[in-house]
Amino acid sequence: MKENKRKIKNLLIDLGGVLYAIDYALIESGMQGIQSQSRTSSVKYSKSFQDELFSQFERGEISAEVFYAEMKVKFELEASQEEFERVWNSMLFGLIPGRLELIQALKTRYRLFLLSNTNIVHYNYLLPECQEIFGLFDQCYFSFQMGKRKPSVEIFQQVMVEQGILPEETLFIEDSPQHIDTANGLGIHTLFASDSNWPEQLTFHLS
C-alpha cells in the first residue's frame, strides 16, 4: 500500500464558487438597473477585483446600513435599502448539487474548516439553506466576523493558530487564484477549484 507522504488531516474549504453557486456578473448588471440614468461610474465586482468599500463590508468594518448609504452616494443608486439588498443577493444561487453529500463523506476522514469572504447581508440570506452543511464543519470562519478577508496572510494564520493545524497537513480548496497564492506561500497544499468538477481531483490531492 502506497504511503501517504502528505498526510493530509485538515481540509480548509471556500464557500462561494466551491460549495455554493454564485454569479458575480449579476451584481454589476443588477446595480445598473437601480442607478441614476446620469450616473458617472459603474459597479465593478468580480472574483479578482472589487471596490475597497466592498472589502470593508466583507471585513465587517461597516454595517449593512452604512454600506447601503455609501453605495447609494458613490454609485448614484435610486433604490431603497430593501431593493438594494435584493439586487445584492441576486448573485447567490444556492448549494451546488452533491456538495452536501461530499462534505458528509469527507467529515468521516478529515477535520473540516470553512473559510469564506462574505458579508452580513449575504450570510443572513444563505444561512437558512446552509445550516446543515455549516454544521458539518469543525469551525466556520467568515471574514465579516473575523475583521480580515482573504487573501491576507493573517486570516490563514488565525485559523491555523486557533485550530492548532499545520500547513503541511492541510489542503485548501479555493476558486480564486490570489487566495491560492497566499496559501501556497504559507506552505499549505492547495486545490484550485477552477471548475465545478473539482471533487473529481480530490483523490489525487489526498492520495
pLDDT of residue 3: 41
The answer, as to whether pTM is greater than 0.85, is: yes
Q: How confident is the model at residue 46 (pLDDT cuts 50, 70, 90)?
A: low
Q: Which amino acid is present at 39? A: R
Phi, psi (degrees; rounded to nearest 5) at 93: -105, -25
Mean pLDDT of the chain: 92
CA distance 44 to 29: 10
pLDDT of residue 205: 84
In this predicted structure, which of 28-37, 85-94, 120-129, 153-162 has the lowest mean pLDDT? 28-37
Q: What is the pLDDT of residue 86?
A: 96
Q: pLDDT digits over 189-206, tens only?
A: 999 998 878 998 898 888
- Of 17, 5, 54, 46, nearest to 192 (Cα)? 17
C-alpha cell at 96: 451546488
pLDDT digits (tens, 9 = 90+) for 20-39: 999 988 988 888 899 888 77
Q: Which residues contact 132 (CB under 8 A, 6 or more apart)?
A: 100
Cell for 28?
A: 454589476
Q: Is residue 2 predicted with pLDDT exceeding 70?
A: no
Q: Are 144 and 60 in contact (CB under 8 A)?
A: yes
CA–CA distance, 159 with 136 (Å, rounded to integer)? 17
* 125: confidence class by pLDDT, cuts 50, 70, 90: very high
Give the per-residue pLDDT at 4.
44
Query: Contact 45/88 with Cβ under 8 angstroms?
Result: no
Residue 48: the pLDDT is: 60
pLDDT in tens, 69-119: 999 999 899 999 999 999 999 999 999 999 999 999 999 999 999 999 999
Query: What does DSSP assign to residue 78?
Result: -
Q: What is the pLDDT of residue 54?
A: 92
Q: Which three cell numbers stand for residue 149?
A: 478577508
Comparing C-alpha atoms, which of 111, 127, 97 is closest to residue 199? 97
C-alpha cell at 56: 470593508
Show the CA angle centred on residue 113, arms to residues 165 and 141, nearest 5°. 105
Question: What 3-state DSSP class applies to 185?
Answer: helix
Provide the pLDDT for residue 105: 97
95 beta partners: 20
Instruction: Using DSSP, state whether 74 is helix, strand or coil.
Output: helix
